[in-house]
Amino acid sequence: MARISYRLIGAAIAAALGIVSLAPAAFAQSTAPSMPGMDHMAMPTSQAAMPVAGPNQVIINNFAFGPATLTVKRGTTVTWINKDGDAHTVTAVGAKPLFGSNPLDTGDSFSFTFNEPGTYAYFCKIHPTMKAAVVVQ
Ligand SMILES: [Cu+2]
């Protein structure tokens, strides 16, 4: 059984390689000019559109917090999730920050419970241009 299937796979690979080498012009036409450009344009768009923040969630993606302004009721626990390939922090603005995460690697999350109404600006210590806010009602 196993020997036969390996032989079949080997034959299939040989056949595929044969087809490629027999028809280089056709492959070059169909793949080379269009594929890299399409991949480059399609990948970031779909990745950017994929992560959707749930209720009381902020998604970190493409060096941005989303939503940039999250409005919640007092007593709400907000969770930030880093979907980016780079590490980011969630750090409250101010001399004595009310909250602050360690650097969050890809897939890491951080939570904080907001008990007092107000507007809480925060940023990423690693990339200080990344700014957002939580509004607590
Ligand atoms: Cu960052």
Task: Report CA(131)–ligand 1 centroid distance (Å).
Answer: 9
Backbone phi, then psi, for 53, in 5-degree steps? Answer: -75, 130
Instruction: Report whether pLDDT(30) > 70.
Output: no
Order the strands of the 57-61 sheet from edge to edge.
Answer: 64-66, 57-61, 76-82, 109-114
pLDDT per residue as tens digits for the range 39-55 = 444 444 444 456 788 89
The average confidence (pLDDT) of the chain is: 77
CA-CA distance, 11 to 78, in Å (whole number)? 56
CA-CA distance, 114 to 98, in Å (whole number)? 10
Task: Report CA(126)–ligand 1 centroid distance (Å).
Answer: 5
CA-CA distance, 46 to 44, in Å (whole number)? 6
**Which pLDDT does position 115 carry in this prediction?**
97
DSSP secondary structure letter of residue 48: H
Task: Report CA(103)–ligand 1 centroid distance (Å).
Answer: 8
Section 81-98 average pLDDT: 96
This prediction's pTM: 0.64
Higher pLDDT residue, 13 or 101?
Answer: 101
